Structure 1
Amino acid sequence: MPQVLVITPVKNSIETTLDTARAIANSDLEVLHIIFNDFSSEETKLELERNKGSIGYELIHLEDITDTPSPNYKLVLQIAQKKALELGLPLLVIESDVVVEKDTISKLLAHQKSHSSSGLTGSVTVDESGEVNFPYLKFKGRKESEINTQRSLSFCCTLFSKEFLSAFDFTGLDDAKDWYDTFISSKSLDCGFQNYVLMDAPVWHRPHGSRPWKQLKYKNPLKYYFLKYWKGLDKI
């Protein structure tokens, strides 16, 4: 029986997505993994269909559910919360530019089970050489195995406890936003839970691999902020 519902929202970036899916499938415990295809190209859609049996994930094409253009993170979270509550499982978001270790998910689950007040538990992100990278640069140099934090968690690889899923209904998420990491991190604290980042359960993160246009933040910041503010992309 699966011990956790794992979801991965996907918008193209098929190579990183399949790396993510293979790593999840190689975990040392059973999971139910659902990939949400958010209006990717036809090529990506075909590759996701072609690989789902051999890797072992379920696949939902959001184009079959909604006409709302990508990103549809709110809808993904709402569907996932409902599914997790029905199954009585915690919910783990692993984004499509993240590669977990074999024991990452079991470490997250073990920590959450031993911390009854836990709302969100995230894995610190590192680069290919093992150095802490975006979005957890704020914790670079910390030596603790876990950090109980008031600061925002990223959903790169973050576990939502069953108790938090029962306490806060995602149907109340703001339609004006694209991403909810900051808001949900705060809501977990508001509901009386504690949020943790595990420094001893690192995951390899290729920043913005799932949204390549955001690489412009480092390569061409003027164009990045034009797209962000004038085109209304990446609302948090």
Structure 2
Amino acid sequence: MALLHIITPVKDSIDSTRLTIAAVSGSALDIPYSYRIFNDYSSEENTAILQQLSQEYAFELVNLKELTDHPSPNYRLTLQLAQERALAEEAYLLLIESDVVVKPDTLQKMYQCAHSQEKAGMVAAVTVDENGDINFPYLYAQKWSRRTHKTNKRLSFCCTLLTPAFLKAIDFHELDPKKNWYDVFISHQSCALGFDNFLMCDNTVLHKPHGSRPWKQLKYTHPLKYYWLKFTKGLDKI
């Protein structure tokens, strides 16, 4: 029985996804774990590549197209399916985005942190750029010391662990179907339910912001176009 369920949602972005998968598969973990890739309507070509990678790296590929006709993003369904399995096996749930590269000891450190804290709800590894500087979505922590901090601020799902106790206290089937993303809501709910959240500034992961959703780069390069798409197309709801 896996004590740690690791998931990565994927929408195309194959180049960055390859790096994510290879890094996760190369993790040094001393606990049993499983790894699932949730393929959220990638192209047929990229779906075939993911199938090949699943054979090479021995992860489970879940093609959401076979489960729902709802268009991407399907983060709500992904979270629901992940929670169901984690609860069934009383496992920790670790979410890693497809634009994140972990180190060999990243996941073990996160598990040890969560396991050592009686009231832990969520534990996140801070994200950095190629120079090692803290970057989006943790810009608020740029001046924090490089240690693990208990925090009430929102945690992203770039690389975040959810504990079995917290998973038992929250029902992802009750997430707002009108939203696209849920990390802000869920991290705040963890605190509201009496759990402690932690940001590990001494446990870094490489993050190329929005590598999994290239159109969101417009927020920095063409902000007017980004907000026009956001409000006229109903994209990026949090």
TM over 0.5: yes
Matching residue of 1:50? 52
1:4 maps to amino acid: L
Matching residue of 1:177? 179
1:36 maps to amino acid: F
Which secondary structure state, in structure 2, belongs to the residue aligned with residue 19 of structure 1?
A: helix
What is the distance in 2 between the residues matched to 1:57 and 1:180? 25
2:90 is aligned, of 72, 88, 106, to 88
What is the distance in 2 between the residues matched to 1:144 and 1:15? 30
1:88 maps to amino acid: E
Matching residue of 2:217? 215
Matching residue of 2:14? 14
Q: How does 1:109-188 map to 2 (within 5 A)?
A: 109-188=111-190
Cα offset, 1:82, TM superposition: 0.2
Which secondary structure state, in structure 2, belongs to the residue aligned with residue 158 of structure 1?
A: strand
Conservation of the 8 A alpha-carbon contact between 2:10 and 2:17? yes
Matching residue of 1:5? 5
Cα offset, 1:230, TM superposition: 1.0
CA RMSD in angstroms, aligned pairs only: 0.9
1:26-63 Cα distance to aligned partner (Å, 9 max, x none): 00014211000000111110100011111121100000
Cα offset, 1:190, TM superposition: 1.1
1:62-112 Cα distance to aligned partner (Å, 9 max, x none): 000000000000000000000111122100000000000000000000000
What is the distance in 2 between the residues matched to 1:179 and 1:77? 10
Which secondary structure state, in structure 2, belongs to the residue aligned with residue 18 of structure 1?
A: helix
Cα offset, 1:3, TM superposition: 3.2
Cα offset, 1:142, TM superposition: 1.0
What is the distance in 2 between the residues matched to 1:83 and 1:232? 31
What is the distance in 2 between the residues matched to 1:40 and 1:174? 24
1:161 maps to amino acid: T
Flag structure 2 segments of 5+ consecutive residues without an equivalent: none
Which secondary structure state, in structure 2, belongs to the residue aligned with residue 67 of structure 1?
A: coil
Q: TM-score, normalised by structure 2?
A: 0.97
What is the distance in 1 between the residues matched to 2:199 and 2:123? 6
Aligned length: 236
What is the distance in 2 between the residues matched to 1:51 and 1:154? 26
Which secondary structure state, in structure 2, belongs to the residue aligned with residue 84 of structure 1?
A: helix
Which secondary structure state, in structure 2, belongs to the residue aligned with residue 131 of structure 1?
A: coil
Q: How does 1:31-46 map to 2 (within 5 A)?
A: 31-46=33-48
What is the distance in 1 between the residues matched to 2:165 and 2:3? 15
Flag structure 1 segments of 5+ consecutive residues without an equivalent: none
Q: TM-score, normalised by structure 1?
A: 0.98
1:112 maps to amino acid: A
Matching residue of 1:197? 199
Q: Identity of counterpart residues, as a percentage? A: 50
Matching residue of 2:110? 108
Bigger CA drift: 135-144 or 62-71? 135-144
Cα offset, 1:160, TM superposition: 0.2
2:8 maps to amino acid: T
